[in-house]
Each structure stands twice: as C-alpha cells, then as structure tokens.
Structure 1
Amino acid sequence: MRTDYLSAQDAATRLGVNLATLYAYVSRGRIDSRPGPDGRTREYSASDIEQLIERKQAGRGAAQGAAHSLAWGLPVMETRISLIRPRGHYYRGESAMVLAKNGATLEETALLLWDCGGHDPFAVESSRRWPEAIAVLLRRSEAPPLERTIAALPLLALDATHAHSADPLHRRQDAALLLRETAALLCATQPSAQPIHQVMAASWRKDGVGLPELVRCALVLCADHELNASSFATRVAASTGASLHAAACAGLATLSGPHHGGAVARAHAFIQEMLRERKPVDRVRERLRRGETLPAFGHTLYPEGDPRGAVLLEALQITHPRPNKLPAIERLIDAVQAQCGLQPNVDFALAAVASAYELSADVALAIFAAGRMAGWLAHALEQQESGSLIRPRASYVGRMPQREG
C-alpha cells in the first residue's frame, strides 16, 4: 500500500532520477516535501511524483520539455555561480543567508560570485568624478533611479578601459568599477571607494540609525538568484560578445518590467495601504474574497517560505527604526498568514525596510538592483569566458506556408 509521502531514495527510484534531480524538482515547486518523522530527513509527495510520471509517459517531446523549462522548469544551463534549494540559496557553495547574517559586504560577496581567488579588483583605485553627460542625468530629479541608470551605462561604456579585453583580471577590474558606479547612479551620488551599503544608506537617510546594516544585509541577499529573467537576459547579451556595460544594461532593462522589479513597487504600495488600516486582517480577507493576489507573499521556488525575506525581516526587527512602524507591518504579516498561510518574500522585506524608514518604493528597488548587479556581472563574466552563443530555437505555431521555396 503506497503512503502519501515517500523517502528521498524511494521518490528518486520511483521517478528514475538521482537525488540531485529530485531536489531540483522540489526547488521548482513541482514536488511538495515535508519534514520526515525523525526531524532530520524529508519526505516527498507521492501524488506529485505520480503526476510527473504521467506527464513523462504522455509522450512529451524534447521541444515541449524545452519550452516548459523556460517557465520555472528544469535547469537549462550549467553555472557555478549560484544554487537554489528549498531552504535557501548559495553562492559558489556558500550560504547567502549565512553571509548576510555574518556581516559580509556586497563587495566581498562579489569577489565570491566572480571567482576572484586571491585577486581583489576593488583594491584598484578607480573612483572618479562623473563625466558632464552623467552629471546632467543626475540633475534630472524626475528620472526614476532605474531609468536614470539604464540611460547612463552606455555613456560610461565609452570610457571603459578594458571594455573588450579577454584578460580575466581586466574584466573583473571593470566589473568592480561598474558595480560601484551603478550603486552611485541608483542613489544619485558620486562614485566612492567607501563600502557600497554605506554610500547608499547615507544618500537616503544620514540619520537612519541601523539603515546601513539593513542595506548591507539586503544587498548580499539580493546579489544573485540563479537564472532569473534579468540574469538570463544579461547572459544572452554577454554571449554575443557585448561589453559588461551592455550586458548589465540588458539586466537592468529586464528588471524594469512589472513582472520582475515591479513586484517591489507593488509590495511597497500594499504596505502603505495597510498601514492606514485599523484592521488589516479585514482588508486582507476582502482582497482574498475578490480573488485578488497579495503582493510579495509566497514564492514558487520556496514552498516553505522565502528565507531571504525571513532573514531581512529579522534584521529589521533588531534595528528598531524610528518612527517605529514595525508593529503595523508585523500585524499585516500575521493577517496574511492567518488567512492563507503565505510567508513574505524578499520583495516584501525590501518594501518593509523602505516603509519603516519612510523611504520610497524607488529606494527599495534601487537596493535590489544594486545587489543584483553583482550577480549580473558574475553571469556576464561566466558567459563571456565560456565563449558560447545563446541561440535557442522557436517552435513555430503560426500559419504554415502553402508551398516551400
């Protein structure tokens, strides 16, 4: 008689895969898992496994499988940069959550992501004042941070010293300068050799007690997240031989979309709305009754809750910012969990940090973009060094020609 849940080995055997592939299915939300009876191991849903087997036996061809892989499916590319597991993500085998908790800076995280070894590209003195064309952009106060940065990067590329150098050290030196300059552009300040989290926090709230530490933690947690849409776009650009500036522009442009970076803005708006409510649980219940989603709660790759959000919210609780809006934010989290059991993800946590310090949604997105720039550059470097062009084929489903030739 089959049980509802199977051990890891039984589940892998039933699927005809190894344990690594089983874990990949779980990390992408295709197989549910729960703690085993001993509290140390995990069990895997037998019904989910049966559904996977049925789909395989239905004769799904290679083309259909490849198409499915583009939407939260199985891995389609090899990388040594980051790994996502149900309980967290890793940078070259190092837990991102542990790095964030233990005080790592974004620069230190970039050294790991870029596989710098004993070389520190940030040690090269390369800070500079903005060229006049960039200074003009920064004076346009109406330009949102992301759009301002997208417009500036091609101008900065004109003066890049090693834009098309094949030397790994040159490429990493350019990456280090680009990371610092991107952070400065996002918060409309001058490039600096100071730690990025300090530069960004000071540009927004010089009196924000605890804010630099929260920005540091958030930058590290956001530094990379495997092959998300913006990282894939960055890799496609880099695969053509485009410069780091051009590849990073592709990442920024992709992040600007409402289905990617827009999640942070929706989370911020949701928090602001709920901070005005005396009984947020009633408004949450009303949203759910209308069939509306709750912005920034739940994550496809983390069925048990996004650990990035948990770590950043825990750090926010420790700082006790003033004015103290944390109790209201925590009541909102409790209300959502009580109604539908969903946990806040990293987009919510970023918006919560901004809201707690009375900062805008643009600030929350700027933190995300500055952190993710380290990952985009890692993917661009890895793709450039592979020397391969990313060129998938399309499955044509339109009207067929009446005759060929």
Structure 2
Amino acid sequence: MRDQEPAPGQEGRRISTTETADLLGVKPETVYAYVSRGQLSSRRDPGGRGSTFDAKEVEALARRNRRGPSEGSPGAGKLSLRTRITLIDKDRYYFRGVDATELAARHSYEEVAEWLWTGTMRRGVSFTAPEASVAVARRAVDALPEHTSPTDRLRVATIAAANVDPLRFDLAEESVLGTARTLIPTLVAALPPRRGDHRDGGPLAHRLWARLSARQADDASLRALDTALALLVDHDLAASTLAVRVAASARAHAYAAVSAGLGVLEGPLHGAAGGLAHRLLLDVLDRGSAAPVVADELRAGRRIPGLGHTLYPAEDPRARALFALLEDVPGAEPALAAAHDIVATTARHAPLHANVDLALAVLTTASGMHASASETVFAVARTAGWIAHILEEYEEAPMRMRPSGQYAGPRPPQPLPNH
C-alpha cells in the first residue's frame, strides 16, 4: 500500500498540537520532543495559547516514521544493538546497572570511565598522557586557524596522537584500555590554555578548566565540571556513538573510531546544542527577561535550545543533578535564574523540561567560558563512552552493521546519459 500524499488543499495549512499528535500517533508531549530536536517546526497561534504546525511537514514526518524511525527519534527502536553499558529507563539512566547520577555524585570522571570500561571501580585513578603524544598533538592543534571549532581541534589532536602510537592497530582489550587512558588526557593537554598558570597534572577536570576559563576555579565549580563530565560519559546509542560502533565493527583502531564519533558530534543537532543554549542565556541576561527572547525565537520558527529530550518525558536526570550542584557555584545565581525563567516562560505553550544542554550553559555562562565550551566538555566526556562501545563492538562479529538500502531511484534499465 502506497503512502498517501497530502491533499492538494492541505499545503500551507496549519494544524493544532492535538491534530499533529493524532497524525503522528503519539502523545502531545512527544510532538514537542520532535520540535526540541529540530524535526518539526512550530508557530505560536496568534488567536490562542497553543502552537500550530505545518500539515505538510507533519505528514512528511509521519511517512518517514511509517517506513521506520531513525535512531534517536521518538519511537526509535528498529535498530537495536545488544549492549551492557548504558540503560535508559523512564527518567533515569544507569551505567552497568548502577544509577549514573549517583555514580557521578560520588566518583570522579576518571573513576566513572574506568567503571564503564571494566566494571571495576578504581578509586583515585588519574589519566596521564605521554609527553611525545602531547607534543605532536599540540603542534597539530596550534597550526589550526584561530576560529577552528573545539571538535575540530580534538579530531586533529586524535589523528596526531594516533600517528605516534605504533600499537594503535592492536585491538586487544588491554591495548585499547591503554590507548583510552592516554588519549583523553592528550586531548585536554592539546587544547590551548586560557590561563598562564595552567597545569597538566591533577584531576582531569582541573586540567580542562584551564582550557575553558581564564578565571581561577573554586572547589564548587571544579566539582560541577567534574560531575558534568561523569554525567555525559555515555548515553546509549546516540548518533555519534553509533558512528563509533560502525567504525569499530569494521575493525578501525580506537583513534579512528573516536575520530568518527567526533565527526558526527560536529552536527548542530548533537554536540553544538549547549552553545546555542549558552547564547540564549546571555540574551536573557542582557534583556532581563526570558519572555521577549523566547518570543523572538518562536517568531523566527526556531526551537528553544536546552529544552526537551526525546528519551525523557520529564526533566533530563543529568540536568537535575547538575542544576543541584550549580546552586553552590559562586556567581551562578543570575544564570540559574535565567534558565528557570526560560523553562517557565516556554511552559506556557509547550510542556518541555530542561535538558543537560541548559544546565551546561549555566555552568559555562557563570564561569566566563566561551559559548563553545560545552561542546568541548561534551566531546571530552563522551570519548570515554565511545571507548566502552569500541571495546564491546570488538567482541562482536566484524562488519555486522551493513544495512541494505531501499532503492527508490528510476527502475533499470535506463538509457545512457547524453553527456
């Protein structure tokens, strides 16, 4: 049976949230989750309190969903990979069966990474990088233009570090673990410091802080950054993680697989969301209220960054944990108030909760960091999760992720082109 096309008179027609939910076969809350991920655009109904949607755009999304949802979209699940790493269940998530927010509250980023990799808690573990690896990565990163994005810097550092590791093609577990424990600190050390008194030793969060902020860090801020790294270590099969597993399935070495993840992370719907939330917060702080800022975003047909998550019907547990720590960060009160104002203002027309991007934006704004800082935090944190998935994928049959395309072009035979 062929998919139905929109009726001729339907083009340009606006429909309500309820009608949209009915067409998609989902709850109204899920409609706003589509909006939060950029898969639908909404417009404020000038004659009411709700939002309206373009009927043609909704029908196109419904057709895509009938063919099978993509990974990361509401209702996804057609692509399913066995994993022992992360479970997302309702409004909580777990690393190897242990509540991830509790792990992050009680253990450092390095300790959580080790737990994810090995299932063993190594208290006090600290990652250090070989001098040769750091030197070549720094030279490569320093040669990039000043406007280079954080993800591009990290990808270049990863490639440079790979080329001074003669054991990179050894895919045995212990060898990959050795790569992980040196690659992550190498990535941090390769980033240009924001302060002259930066350190290349101590907890990773302390080293990363000096690459993100010119301010002297206080204990509460360092704890918030370390916890943010631990909270973001993994989140099941996000788009970048899937890319990493595809590379590992082809038996790419760990550096190459991490580079594949960084490439996907560069997308505006994945790693860059925190930067958009950062800029939104600055705008709210500058104008003194979220109302005109949110109104401008909706008028332009843009989704509000930092709100909603396809996997959590209520508040993102990572945001909840990070917001609690930010209450103790000196100078964070204005940014926290602005974030709460954004959530409350948007709730008047969309039942969306804060996600981790908004919490990260509060941290980066309050700490005097650049808007792209959250992208760096996300990439460094997620590298540990990618390593866990690489190790898991190496245990599976190689080249198992080879889907069959559904050809939709002209049926052969076709005549040869004239030119």
Shorter-chain TM-score range? 0.7 to 0.9
Deviation of 1:286 (Å): 5.0
| More displaced stretch, 209-218 vs 319-328 | 319-328
RMSD: 3.1
Where does residue 208 of structure 1 map in the other structure? 217
Residues 176 and 193 of structure 1: is their aligned pair in 2 closer, same or farther, counting only changes over 3 Å?
A: farther
CA distance in 2, matches of 1:257, 1:123: 31
In the alignment, what sits opposite 1:7?
A: none
Deviation at 1:76, TM superposition (A): 1.3
Whole-angstrom CA distance in 2 between matches of 1:120 and 1:186 = 27
Distance apart, 1:372 and its partner CA: 0.6
| Residue pairs, 1:207-246, within 5 angstroms | 207-209=216-218, 210-246=220-256
| Aligned position for 1:195 | 203
Amino acid at match of 2:261: G
One-letter identity of the residue aligned with 2:114: L
Check the 8 A contact 1:201/1:212 in 2, yes or no: yes
SS at match of 1:84: strand
| Contact kept? 1:81, 1:113, Cα under 8 Å | yes
Q: Deviations over 1:143-202 (max 9, x none)?
A: 332111112211211122421224311211111111221233346599945211111113
Q: How many residues align?
A: 347
Query: 1:164 aligned to 147, 165, 169, which one?
Result: 169
1:152 aligned onto 2:157? yes
* Alignment of 1:392 onto 2:403: yes
Instruction: List gaps (5 residues or longer) in structure 1.
Output: 1-24, 33-62
Deviations 1:261-304 (A, max 9, x none): 12122111211111111332243245445643211201111011
Match of residue 115, structure 1, among 74, 94, 118: 118
Aligned partner of 2:365 in structure 1 is: 355
SS at match of 2:327: helix
2:285 maps to 275
Question: Are the aligned partners of 1:145 and 1:187 in contact in 2 as well (CA < 8 Å)?
Answer: no
The 8 Å contact of residues 297 and 348 in structure 1, kept in 2 or not, is answered as yes
Deviations 1:229-256 (A, max 9, x none): 0000011111111111000000011101
1:175–1:400 distance in 2 versus 1, CA, 3 Å: same
Q: Does 1:70 align with 2:75?
A: no
Q: Assess, with a 3 A threshold, how the Cα gap between structure 1 residues 228 and 393 changes in structure 2: closer, same or farther.
A: same
Larger deviation, residues 187-196 vs 139-148: 187-196
| Equivalent residue runs for 1:214-363 within 5 Å | 214-285=224-295, 287-288=297-298, 291-321=301-331, 324-363=334-373
SS in 2 for 1:131: helix
Instruction: Classify the secondary structure of the residue corresponding to 1:83.
Output: strand
- For residues 104-130 of structure 1, the C-alpha deviation after alignment (integer angstroms, 9 at most, x for no partner) is 111111111112547899678653253
Equivalent residue, structure 1, for 2:40: none
TM-score (norm 2): 0.74
Distance 1:295 1:306 in 2: 14
8 A Cα contact 1:161 1:174, kept in partner = no
TM-score (norm 1): 0.77
For 1:295, what is the secondary structure of its paired residue? coil
Secondary structure at the aligned position of 1:377 is classed as: helix
Question: d(CA) in 2 for partners of 1:68 and 1:328?
Answer: 35
CA contact (8 A) 1:217 1:312 kept: yes
Letter in 1 for 2:103: L
Report the CA distance shift for 1:364/1:148 in structure 2 as closer, same or farther (over 3 A): same
Which residue identity lines up with residue 207 of structure 1 in the other structure?
A: Q
For each residue in 1:315-371, what CA deviation from the matched residue of structure 2 results, as whole angstroms up to 9, or x when unmatched? 111223368543333333332334433211011111111011121122111111111
| Cα pair distance change 1:186/1:350, threshold 3 Å | farther
Secondary structure, aligned partner of 1:176: helix
User: What letter matches 1:88 in structure 2?
Assistant: R
